[in-house]
Structure 1
Amino acid sequence: MSQVEQQQTAEQVILSRHSVRQYQRDVVIPDAELNEILELAASAPSSWNLQHWRFLVIREQANKDRLLPIAFGQQQVSDASAVVVVLGDLQANLTAPIVFEKATPEVRDTMLGQINGAYANSPTVGRDEAIRNASLAAMQLMLAARAKGYDTVPMGGYNPAALIQEFNIPERYIPVMLLPIGKAASPARATERLPLSDVVINESF
């Protein structure tokens, strides 16, 4: 595939991704295909390469139905093929020794010093980095799903405390969003975008 063809394909994937809220029920995503989507999502960039995301994948119907009251009755969590609960790691600094295990001692010591210093010196850095980096992976997951012919919708409308309790999510992880994945039962509602002149500020305000 030529560079132009690759660019066109990337643009088509991005522009064809829409938030779908009605899904065909009982569509099964093959394990291998779902794993490919998750692997692509997990290739997202992250601060210090700490890979702050964790994916709680919910596929069994009974478990998807447990999400319904947590998601305030939004039917897509029950009908979609899977719901990925995107979590952020509040203590991602603890993975640094593994991430930099193969680095030279000088690089490893420098990076661990930077990371542990940042986490120790700010009470908000753990939460900020968890949400920021898990969101990067979530966006990449949505694009990976679209590239393979599936639809998604990012959901912030749910009860985080109930989600944590119902699915035994450890305190180390913070729910960032729910991501239903499946096949659309009806097209996504058309949305408008602000003109570029409204969202781009050149050089300074």
Structure 2
Amino acid sequence: MDTLTAIQERRSIKKYDTSFTMPEADVEKLMDLALLSPTSFNIQNWRFVLVRDPAQKKKLRAAAWDQAQVEEAQLTMVLCGDVKAWAKEPERYWKNVPEGTRDVLVPMIEQFYSTSGEQVQHDEVMRSCGIAAQTLMLAAKSMGYDSNPMIGFNTEQVAEVIGLPPGHVIAMMLVIGKAAKPAHPRGGQLAKSEVVFTDRFPG
């Protein structure tokens, strides 16, 4: 499936075929594609927790207000981020570029994030995870799978289930699998004129 079709056909699916087993090769392919998602300064601050153990899935479902897709989808993951990734050996984020380029970019990382404040660092994680989630959802659709991004869960409980380290935050959960039931018709799209503006907001 091409990218434009995947965008048009991707829907949030709640019911998954529990009789289907996702091949490990497909899991690896999805994650390889996710790791190509862009991040600011290439700091790759996202972290993906793939919850595969049935007992872990059950705990995660309980933390997600008993939403069945958490346990029934073939691939359930928690998208998190390391808020301080920018400060952890930043030279490795540019190890494959010429030395002159690296000497310019690496100091810029520290200069920007050390002075921008914790809110910007937190927001950077959210942006990175959002982009990665969209990459995963479109890749999944193009491979014949469906998905559902989720924010309906108790963050503290999910953090406990996955053993979230200090300095990390949770952005969302995402499930991927074979749909057992199609999505309902689209709820209602706002008019383009209401959400798309040229140069500045009107008025």
**TM-score, normalization: structure 1?**
0.91
3-state secondary structure, aligned to 2:169: strand
Whether 2:147 is the aligned partner of 1:156: answer: no
1:130–1:95 CA distance, 2 compared to 1 (3 A): farther
Q: Structure 1: where are the runs of 5+ without partners?
A: 1-7
Aligned twin of 1:177: 172
Take 2:123 and 2:176, find their aligned partners in 1: how far apart are those partners? Answer: 26
Whether 2:163 is the aligned partner of 1:165: answer: no
Whether 2:152 is the aligned partner of 1:133: answer: no
Q: Deviations over 1:56-99 (max 9, x none)?
A: 10122221111111101111101111101111221121252111
Take 1:108 and 1:34, find their aligned partners in 2: how far apart are those partners? Answer: 33
Take 2:30 and 2:130, find their aligned partners in 1: how far apart are those partners? Answer: 15
Whether 2:117 is the aligned partner of 1:104: answer: no
Percent identity at matched positions?
33
CA contact (8 A) 1:152 1:182 kept: yes
Aligned twin of 1:147: 142
3-state secondary structure, aligned to 2:11: coil
**How many Å apart are 1:104 and its aligned residue?**
3.2
**How many Å apart are 1:195 and its aligned residue?**
1.9
Q: Structure 2: where are the runs of 5+ without partners?
A: none
Aligned twin of 1:77: 70
Aligned twin of 1:197: 193
Amino acid at match of 2:192: L
Amino acid at match of 2:164: I
Runs of 4+ in 1 over 6 A off after TM superposition: none
Q: How does 1:114-133 map to 2 (within 5 A)?
A: 114-123=108-117, 124-133=119-128
Q: What number of residue pairs does the alignment pair up?
A: 198
Amino acid at match of 1:107: T
Match of 2:26 among 4, 11, 33: 33
Take 1:95 and 1:145, find their aligned partners in 2: how far apart are those partners? Answer: 32
Aligned twin of 1:89: 82
